[in-house]
A and B are shown apart, each in its own frame.
Chain A
Amino acid sequence: MEITTKKITSLRVEHITKRFPGVLASDDISLSIGEGEILALVGENGAGKTTLMNILMGLYQPDEGRIIINGEEVRFRSPNDAFAAGLGMVHQQYMLVPNMTVLENIALGYKQAWSLFKLDLAMVRERIEEISKKYGLHVDPDAFIWQLSVGEQQRVELVKTLCLGARFLILDEPTSALTPQETDELIILLKRMASELSIIFISHKLQEVKDLSDTITILRHGAVVFQGNTTDHSPSDIAALMTGHEVELPLNEEPPCDGEIVLNIKDLKVKSDRGFLALNKLNLSIRSGEIVGLAGVSGNGQRELAEAINGLRKVESGEILFYGEDLANRSPHHVIEAGMGYIPEERNTEGIVPSFSIKENLILKDASHPEFSKHTFLRNKEIDKNATDLRIKFDIRSPNISIAAGSLSGGNIQKVILAREISRKPKFLIAVYPIRGLDLGAAEFIHRQLLEKRKEGIGILLVSEELDEILDLSDRVAVIFKGEIQQVLNRKDANRRSLGILMAGVKDDQNI
């Protein structure tokens, strides 16, 4: 296909149908985007958003239907065809080489700068500057990727896609890894960019959809269930259309609890991977039957705290008293046996062994437990029964219990982890970003489970940067900033404003 540089003034998708064995992944989908428009594509996990985008990007061929750009039908036989037509996609996972500079990363894909024995970096640099200026996207071409924050890396991805000639952007859940501040910046940026190009924006987060998009298309089970102007509908309308029923995220409305303190962290000092003190004399206590939300912009020591409690990170000094016993520097196994449940941040790589089956992952922590093994031989019957029961109880959607857990969607992986952690009957639960990237249905389910555990008298430390999640569930909110607890607020004193200020590092907001 010939490379053109014409603006894409309209993109239409007509009656796209795509079947996979046993699944109708796209069911007669039509949508259209005009010049400078931002279309939000919304739907639960598995609703068919990714399939549709893969069709647009030439990764899949539709069984039926056509794609029309600027009034002309196009056929993409490979992603290269889609690039040539001016479509560019920024994926959820960034595709950057960490130990190369921004300039080098962009040059990798910038074929015009390549000749037989020479790579014209000056030309790439010029192009980057041109794009940066045009769209107001600032990147330092000489910074190494590993030095950049997630938000900055995303900007590099955007610049890269634009440098390579994209005149139409597809963004797959661009905010899923961003802090609230970075999200706001991105939304402003995208709005500005919309004057130059059109954007399809895939998201679960309805507030962003409201803030950013002009029109909205909702998919459910592969079909379009709703199309309209964003301004005409409230987030809760959209949520209801998305899931097919009214969704109400559950709230913690119980009175503050007065259980005994079960986890008491005293003067905890822990180093980060890069060697500086990620936690500096952190103090925090949590009672049984209480949810304490740990609010903070990610990277302020949340990960290190969770890892230190669970024996996965060395403690420099301080105590982690758990039912009176100091857990500092004990082995992960010891902490697990002490009754600690842990839903880790990296659910795909840490919470499960991706190549293991669901049933194996469900006993990851209990392979030697007499319930599942006898004289070290695994008791397959018990393991199958355990998995079958949990699959039903936790609504894990999978064809069977023997498929690799890594092949499940994010929501279902999280359910596997939750099922394992809760069924182990823990005395305490640490949940780190438990609903990050999940759709509303899954989020609701997970929140209900957490609240139920709370009712049973289990203490929960909920680490999140979503203020709504923290405010919905917590009895008390602790705000972490640069490895220290800024302040602990009772639920009635916590609101978006007070937390936002504390998260930004201001301790005393009387003067603001």
Chain B
Amino acid sequence: MTKTFKITYKVTIIILAILAAMTIGAIILLTIGADVLKTYSVILFEPLKTTLQLSEVLIRAIPLTIIALGIAVAYRSGIINIGAEGQMAMGILGTTAIALLFPELPKPILLPLAILAGAICGGLWGFIPGILKAKLQVSELLSTVMLNYIAAQFYTFFLRGPMLDPAESSLGGSGTPQSMRLSKNLWLERLPGTRLHTGIFFAIILAIVIYLLLWKTSTGMKMRAAGASERAARYGGISVTTYLVVAMVISGAFAGMAGAIEIAGVHRRAIEGVTGGYGFSAIVVALFGGLHPAGIIPASFFFGLLIVGADMTQRMVGVPANMVNVLQGIIILVIVATKMVLADPYLMEKVWRKYQKITNPPKEVEA
């Protein structure tokens, strides 16, 4: 098989996959009577047309990137973290608590302290399923999902109770349970005229940190070994359970930091429902990005695009934003299927034979 053939083969399959995803999506869009082409062009291109809209895409990509990085660390270490949503909520609570308690602290102290608090709260929420798995073999699928519910209740309790904005209760306010506006010393700088905040640099730095951690340090190598083959890692003297807990703490801390950055950069207060499914979308982002920072960043951008595009289709074409979630689901299924097809050497071999038959029909070849 020639190299050109292999590349062409793979590219063709990816293109076919994209076409397949778009076709299935088109059928669904047709059933609800939407204009297919317009919907697609709005989702994919409209958000990129103005700086403001592009900045909104990037705002969505920031928490997705940070959380997905953490999920990648966990995944690579052999534990699946579905609890990022809860970890993010806990992170927001930690950050908010610090900001409400010490509003007067100067920015260079308050900001790092608040982010750290977010990381610690999120990390703690990751530590619980980690230690349960390490010591008692409790499935992380179970514990992380359950902890999501507990975190959601905590979040609701604090935002409707101790942290509730006094303005909300007496004068009616917005009607959404939220904290009061946090100290200015916590605010991240914004690009003028947009909501795009400096958290984007933070996300990029974290991506580099994770890349270095996983691929350039001995700790990362051990974590990956534990994830790739638990038995071989144990044999190699690597304490699999320790790294499992460490990975979950990192994963949780990243989700917590994403929460901290989100409120410090975008909302400037804790609001109910602010996590908005980032913790779950980030799982898809992490897998879509190949569990590698270099893949996670573009994947986050793509999913940010879908989220913003979903809003816009609702406004511009009248397609409900929920339909975009359906499209997301289709994309995920197609990606999984494509990966399986690409990993099948026999299929490639088969296509190669067909290809050879077409290009050079059988003739006598010199031995």
Interface positions of A (Cβ within 8 A of B): 17, 21, 28, 59-61, 64, 310, 312, 331-333, 335-337, 342, 344, 346, 349-356, 360, 364-365, 367-368, 372-373, 376-378
Q: Determine whether the beta carbon of A349 is less than 8 Å from that of B217.
A: no
Known: A372-B218, A376-B217. A356 touches B228 (CB 8 A): yes
Taken together as a complex, chains A and B put the C-alpha atoms of A378 and B212 apart, in Å, by 10
Interface positions of B (Cβ within 8 A of A): 1-2, 212, 216-219, 221-222, 224-225, 228-229, 231-239, 346, 349, 353, 365, 367
Q: Determine whether the beta carbon of B229 is less than 8 Å from that of A344.
A: no
Taken together as a complex, chains A and B put the C-alpha atoms of A247 and B137 apart, in Å, by 50
Known: A367-B222, A376-B217, A376-B219. A350 touches B232 (CB 8 A): yes
- Assuming A60-B349, A378-B217, what are 10 further A-B pairs, CB within 8 angstroms? A21-B2, A331-B237, A335-B237, A336-B236, A336-B237, A350-B229, A367-B225, A373-B218, A376-B218, A377-B218
Q: Which residues of A contact B235 (CB under 8 A)?
A: 310, 312, 332, 342, 344, 350-351
16 CB-based A-B contacts, threshold 8 Å: A21-B1, A59-B346, A312-B234, A332-B234, A332-B236, A332-B238, A335-B237, A350-B231, A353-B233, A356-B224, A365-B237, A372-B218, A373-B218, A377-B212, A377-B216, A378-B217
B236's contact among A17, A61, A365, A378, by CB below 8 Å, is which? A365
Taken together as a complex, chains A and B put the C-alpha atoms of A351 and B221 apart, in Å, by 16
Q: Determine whether the beta carbon of B353 is less than 8 Å from that of A61.
A: yes
Q: How far is the CB of B268 from chain A (nearest CB, A)?
A: 37
A-B contacts, CB under 8 A, total? 82
Q: Determine whether the beta carbon of A378 is less than 8 Å from that of B237.
A: no
Q: Which residues of B contact A372 (CB under 8 A)?
A: 218
Q: Which residues of A contact B237 (CB under 8 A)?
A: 331-333, 335-337, 365
Q: Determine whether the beta carbon of A368 is less than 8 Å from that of B218.
A: yes
A-B residue pairs, 6 tightest by C-beta: A333-B237, A367-B218, A364-B236, A373-B218, A336-B237, A353-B229
Q: Which residues of A contact B349 (CB under 8 A)?
A: 60-61
Q: Which residues of A contact B233 (CB under 8 A)?
A: 353
Q: Which residues of B contact A331 (CB under 8 A)?
A: 237, 239
Q: Which residues of A contact B238 (CB under 8 A)?
A: 332-333, 364
B217's contact among A342, A350, A373, by CB below 8 Å, is which? A373
Taken together as a complex, chains A and B put the C-alpha atoms of A360 and B231 apart, in Å, by 16
User: Which single residue of chain B is at the shortest CB-CB distance from A420?
Assistant: B236
Q: Which residues of B contact A59 (CB under 8 A)?
A: 346
Q: Which residues of B contact A364 (CB under 8 A)?
A: 225, 232, 236, 238
Q: Which residues of A contact B228 (CB under 8 A)?
A: 353-356
Taken together as a complex, chains A and B put the C-alpha atoms of A356 and B221 apart, in Å, by 10
Taken together as a complex, chains A and B put the C-alpha atoms of A365 and B232 apart, in Å, by 10
Q: Determine whether the beta carbon of A378 is less than 8 Å from that of B218.
A: yes
Q: Determine whether the beta carbon of B1 is less than 8 Å from that of A349.
A: no
Q: How far is the CB of A240 from chain B (nearest CB, A)?
A: 28
Q: Which residues of B contact A336 (CB under 8 A)?
A: 236-237
- Most chain A CB atoms below 10 A, which of B217, B229, B346: B229
Taken together as a complex, chains A and B put the C-alpha atoms of A356 and B236 apart, in Å, by 13
User: Which single residue of chain B is at the shortest CB-CB distance from A334?
Assistant: B237
Q: Determine whether the beta carbon of B219 is less than 8 Å from that of A349.
A: no
Q: How far is the CB of A404 from chain B (nearest CB, A)?
A: 10
Q: Which residues of A contact B221 (CB under 8 A)?
A: 360, 367, 378
Q: Which residues of A contact B236 (CB under 8 A)?
A: 332, 336, 353, 364-365
Known: A60-B349, A332-B235, A365-B237. A353 touches B225 (CB 8 A): yes
Q: Which residues of B contact A367 (CB under 8 A)?
A: 218, 221-222, 225
Q: How far is the CB of A364 from chain B (nearest CB, A)?
A: 4
User: Which single residue of chain A is at the shortest CB-CB distance from B237?
Assistant: A333
Q: How far is the CB of A482 from chain B (nearest CB, A)?
A: 26
Q: Determine whether the beta carbon of A349 is less than 8 Å from that of B218.
A: no
Taken together as a complex, chains A and B put the C-alpha atoms of A312 and B239 apart, in Å, by 11
Q: How far is the CB of B208 from chain A (nearest CB, A)?
A: 14
User: Which single residue of chain B is at the shortest CB-CB distance from A355?
Assistant: B228
Taken together as a complex, chains A and B put the C-alpha atoms of A319 and B1 apart, in Å, by 58
Taken together as a complex, chains A and B put the C-alpha atoms of A456 and B229 apart, in Å, by 33
B239's contact among A28, A333, A355, A376, by CB below 8 Å, is which? A333
Taken together as a complex, chains A and B put the C-alpha atoms of A310 and B234 apart, in Å, by 10
Taken together as a complex, chains A and B put the C-alpha atoms of A360 and B232 apart, in Å, by 12
Taken together as a complex, chains A and B put the C-alpha atoms of A377 and B217 apart, in Å, by 4
User: Which single residue of chain A is at the shortest CB-CB distance from B238?
Assistant: A333
Q: How far is the CB of A124 from chain B (nearest CB, A)?
A: 28
User: Which single residue of chain A is at the shortest CB-CB distance from B231?
Assistant: A350
Q: Which residues of B contact A352 (CB under 8 A)?
A: 229, 232
Taken together as a complex, chains A and B put the C-alpha atoms of A302 and B67 apart, in Å, by 46
Q: How far is the CB of A166 from chain B (nearest CB, A)?
A: 21
Q: Which residues of B contact A28 (CB under 8 A)?
A: 367
Q: How far is the CB of B132 from chain A (nearest CB, A)?
A: 21
